[in-house]
Amino acid sequence: MADSSTQGPAARGERIAKVMARAGLCSRRDAERWIEEGRVEVNGIVLTTPALMVGPQDRVEVDGKPLPEKQDQRLWRYHKPSGLVVSHRDEKGRETVFDALKEQLPRVVSVGRLDLNTEGLLLLTNDGELARLLELPATGWVRRYRVRAHGTVAPEALAGLKDGVTVDGIHYGPITASLEKVQGSNCWLTFALREGKNREIKRVCEHLGLQVNRLIRTSFGPFQLGELKRGEVEEIAPSVLADQLGRGMAGQSAKPKKAPRADRRRHT
CA distance 112 to 236: 17
Q: Which residues pair with 237 in a beta bridge?
A: none
What Cα–Cα distance (Å) separates residue 22 from each residue in 17, 67, 144, 243, 260?
Answer: 9, 10, 27, 20, 21
Given 63, 99, 115, 127, the catalytic residue:
115
Report the sign of the C-alpha dihedral through residues 227, 88, 84, 176, in that order: negative
Q: In whole angstroms, what is the distance from residue 215 CA to residue 221 CA?
A: 18
CA triple 241-201-261, angle to 5 deg:
70
User: Phi and psi for 77 in degrees, rounded to 5?
Assistant: -95, 135
For the question of residue 58 being annotated catalytic, the response is no
CA dist 211 and 239 (Å) reads: 41
* Pair 110, 155: CB distance under 8 Å: no
The residues annotated with a catalytic role in the active site are 115
